[in-house]
Amino acid sequence: MKTHDIDAAVRGLAPTHADERISDGAWTQLSENVTSGVNEPVISLGARRGPARPRLLLAAACTLLIAGVVGATLVNRPDQDQPQALSFTPHGDKIVVRVVDLNADPKRYNAEFKKMGLDIKLTVVPVSPPFVGQMVSFSGRSEHDMNQLNRLEPGELCNGTLNASDPGCQDGLEVPKNYDGHTEIQFGRAAKPGEMYQHMSGSATEKGEALAGLKIRNKTVAEVLPLVEARGVKVDFRTATDAKPSESVPGTWYVHDATSYVSGLVSLFVGPKPEK
Amino acid sequence: MTQTPIKAWAGPMSEGVVHDPPPDPRRVRFEEVFGAHREAVLGYLRRRTDSGHDAADLLADTFLVAWRRLDDIPSGNQTGPWLYGVARRVLANHRRGEGRRHALATKLRQELTEPDETDTSLSDDSPAARAFRALPEQDRELLSLVAWEELDTAQIATVLGITRNAVRIRLHRARKRFAKLLNAPLANRNLVALTEEASHEDA
């Protein structure tokens, strides 16, 4: 077989997706969001679901945080400046920063960063339940700002006997003592009803989300609605053809997926046919 | 440190947000790159994912990286391949289960379909399709970059981050393996089918 024939055979295998004309609005939204919504470089730490992650530990950590058991007494350990919103622990020529009081006023975090001479700003953003208490993103002005930072998983580089299930050793950041960059860190907080999440899981059926554990894929809308309503959340419908959410769709349609973008509201992705 | 207002991540309802439109050169450059390559990069991702929704999210991720690394983007006919290279890494993360869904591309998401009958890639049972699926991922990617993205050796080198010479050698081998699988006698079809299953698990 000649090269030309081989390439032609491969060309014939290109999957085609007919009728997918993208509207100007969709392109503009994406471009605007990329350039202005996230005004600075961002590394999202959202859905971190690496297979190597010890799920149990993470689950334990989340449960503790969601329950709000971030007691100041628990974090009152040696080597940490206490009682504070943040803990700073020297680690060689670096400092390990951890949030120990999630409910503290963001001003307190920022005051503490300033006291340490670090140009780091911490903000708290509404997130879906599984991301409450987690560091969801950090951003800087440039690669230089970002490259000096090392994000720490719960349990990583913890003090003494602290481990990943300890509220004092959740997500953290390793910063050089002479950090000369500017960074903004976002932590997740519980959203108020109706508030839009800035981070959420891929699907509303994932652990901790509004429809956690429900099997909805390729069930009909009529079958799924009672299940969703039983969770006490509202519903809107997203279809492939309509740009806007729909209030109602035929009950015989199929649910493909669901995502909760807003606290108390689940968006069902639906269509007239089941999804393969 | 002075307190500045929290800048919200523009979500699906960000239409109401007022954006200042100063002629920021970074933004102009991004718009240029985005406008010229968005369709091609979406096509690249679309051909390599089953789900249009995933493709939308991956496209958003790809251009987030492009925005962040705007100064690194090469000009001329290397821009596209550079973006494919980013898309390729984003896709690899996605396949490792590290993907994420965000609100940056809500509209795009809605305009892309989930797999259905129009998607022929899954059901294509022709000898060529079977042979292609039986190839190692690296071979498939090389052959696809030539046939689907119509890239030349230098451009593929940019996508994969390897030398042109390495591209030539690997491409030669990939073509050879594909031809061999295509011409495999019936008795070997089972073997092809077996490896095909294995490669499906990767996907």
* pLDDT score for A25: 85
- Comparing CB atoms, the residue among A41, A238, A240 nearest residue B113 is A240
Least confident of A73-87, B33-47, B141-155: A73-87
Same domain flag for A111 and A228: no
Query: With contacts defined as CB-CB under 8 Å, which chain B residues touch A239?
Result: 110
Task: Measure CB to CB from residue B99 to each of A16, A25, A202 and give the nearest one.
Answer: A202
Q: Which of A50-54, A109-113, B38-42, B51-55 has the highest mean pLDDT?
A: B38-42
Residue A34 lies in a domain: no
State what percent of residues in chain A have pLDDT above 90.
Answer: 9
Binned at pLDDT 50, 70 and 90, residue A62 comes out as very low
Measured between CA atoms, how close is A9 to chain B, in angstroms? 7
Segment B28-51 shows an average pLDDT of: 91
* C-alpha distance across the termini of chain B, in Å: 48
Topology given in CATH for the domain delimited by B123-203: Arc Repressor Mutant, subunit A (1.10.10)
Domain extent for A266: 201-276
Percentage of chain B lying above the pLDDT 70 cut: 69
Interface test with B, best of A6, A49, A145, A184 (most B CBs within 10 A): A6
pLDDT tens-place string over residues A91-132: 888 888 887 776 777 788 888 888 888 888 888 888 888 888
Q: Which of A7, A24, A30, A238 to mutate to test the interface with B (most CBs of B within 10 A)?
A: A30
Could you list the beta-strand ranges (E) of chain B: none
pLDDT band at A263 (very low <50, low <70, confident <90, very high): very high
**Do residues A180 and A65 share a domain?**
yes
Name every chain B residue with its beta carbon within 8 A of the beta carbon of A110: 1, 3
Whether residues A211 and A147 fall in one domain: no
Q: Are residues A154 and A133 in the same domain?
A: yes
- Sheet with A254-262: list strands edge to edge: A234-239, A265-271, A254-262
Do A65 and A150 reside in the same domain of the chain? yes
Distance between CA A264 and CA A174 in Å, rounded?
35
Question: Could you write out the three-class secondary structure of chain A?
Answer: CCHHHHHHHHHCCCCCCCCCCCCHHHHHHHHHHHHHHCCCCEEECCCCCCCCCCHHHHHHHHHHHHCCCCCCCCCCCCCCCCCCCEEEEEECCEEEEEECCCCCCHHHHHHHHHHCCCCEEEEEEEECHHHCCCEEEEEECCHHHHHCCEEECCCCCCCCCCCCCCHHHCCEEEEECCCCCCEEEEEEEECCCCCECCECCCCCCCCCCCCCCCCCCCCEHHHHHHHHHHCCCEEEEEECCCCCCECCCCCCCEEEEEEEEECCEEEEEEECCCCC
Query: Angle formed by the axes of helices B79-93 and B153-160, to 10°?
Result: 40
Residue A21 lies in a domain: no
Q: Which residue of chain B has the CA closest to A113?
A: B1
pLDDT at A48: 33
Q: Assess contact for A70 and A62: CB atoms under 8 A.
A: no
Mean pLDDT of chain B: 76
Question: Where along chain B do its domains lie?
Answer: 25-114, 123-203
Q: What is the mean pLDDT of residues B84-90?
A: 91
Give tens-digit pLDDT for B156-171. 999 998 888 889 988 9
**pLDDT at residue B110 is higher than 60:** yes
Using CB atoms, pick whichever of A42, A48, A143 lies closest to residue B98.
A48
Six-digit token string for A75: 């974090």
pLDDT averaged over chain A?
Answer: 75
**Stronger pLDDT, B98 or B188, i.e. the higher one:** B98
Q: Report the residue from A11, A22, A257 with minimal CB separation from B111.
A: A22
CA neighbours closer than 13 Å in the CB half-sphere of residue A128: 26
B144–A10 CB contact, under 8 Å: yes
- Among A35-39, A119-123, B49-53, B168-172, the range with the most confident prediction by mean pLDDT is B168-172
Are residues A179 and A206 located together in one domain of the fold? Answer: no
Taking CA–CA distances from B177, the nearest residue in chain A reads: A6
Residue ending a domain, choose from A171, A190, A209: A190
Please provide the size of chain A in residues.
276
Q: Could you tell me if A152 and A66 lie in one domain?
A: yes
Chain-chain contact of B116 with A275 (C-beta, under 8 angstroms): yes
Same domain, A52 and A180: yes
Token output for A224: 């799924």
Q: Are strands A183-190 and A120-127 parallel, antiparallel or unpaired?
A: parallel
Quick: pLDDT tens for A189-204.
Answer: 888 888 888 888 878 8
Cβ-based contacts under 8 A for chains A and B: 217
Higher confidence at residue A199 or residue A217?
Answer: A217
Write out chain A residues lying below 8 Å of B31, CB-based. Answer: 31, 35
All residues of chain B having their beta carbon less than 8 Å from the beta carbon of residue A22 are 39, 42, 108, 111-112
Level-2 CATH architecture, domain B25-114: Orthogonal Bundle (1.10)
How much is the pLDDT for B185? 55
Cα B157 versus chain centre, distance:
15
The answer to whether the CB atoms of A256 and B122 lie below 8 A apart is no
Confidence tier at B84 by pLDDT (50, 70, 90)? very high
Quickly count: other Cβ atoms within 10 Å of residue A222's Cβ: 12
User: Nearest by CB to A14, which of B47, B64, B69?
Assistant: B47
Q: How many CB atoms lie within 10 A of CB A212?
A: 15
Total Cβ atoms within 10 A of residue B5: 6
Q: Look at residue A211 and tell me whether its pLDDT is greater than 80.
A: yes
- Best probe of the B interface among A11, A33, A131, by most B CBs < 10 A, is A33
Residues on chain A touching B39 (C-beta within 8 angstroms): 22
Q: Is residue A113 part of a domain?
A: yes
Task: Please give the structure tokens belonging to residue B40.
Answer: 């091609």
| CA distance linking residue B11 with residue A126, whole number of Å | 12
| Number of domains comprising chain A | 2
| Element at B79 (helix H, strand E) | helix B79-93
Question: How far apart are alpha carbons A245 and A222 in whole angstroms?
Answer: 18
| Domain assignment present for A1 | no
* Residue A27 falls inside a structural domain: no
Smallest CA–CA distance, residue B49 to chain A, in Å, is 10
Q: Give me the DSSP letters along B98-134.
A: I----GGGHHHHHHSPPS-TT--TTT--SHHHHHHHH
Contact B59 A37 (CB under 8 A): no
Is the pLDDT reported for residue B150 higher than 60?
Answer: yes
Give the span between the Cα atoms of B136 and B176, in whole angstroms: 13
Same domain, yes or no, for A136 and A96? yes
B9: tokens are 């991540």
Same domain, A77 and A113: yes
Chain A residues whose CB is inside 8 A of the B1 CB are 110-111, 113-114, 119, 121
Q: How confident is the model at residue B151 (pLDDT cuts 50, 70, 90)?
A: very high
pTM (whole model) above 0.80: no
- Enumerate residues 6+ apart whose C-beta is below 8 A from B33: B66, B70, B73, B79, B83
Same domain? A157 vs A267: no
Nearest CB partner across the interface for A275, out of B12, B98, B115: B115
CA–CA dist B89, B123 (Å, integer)? 26
Residues A51, A74, single domain; the answer is yes
Provide the pLDDT confidence category of residue B197 given band limits of 50, 70 and 90. Answer: very low
Taking CB atoms and an 8 Å cutoff, what residues of chain B touch A31? 30-31, 34, 63
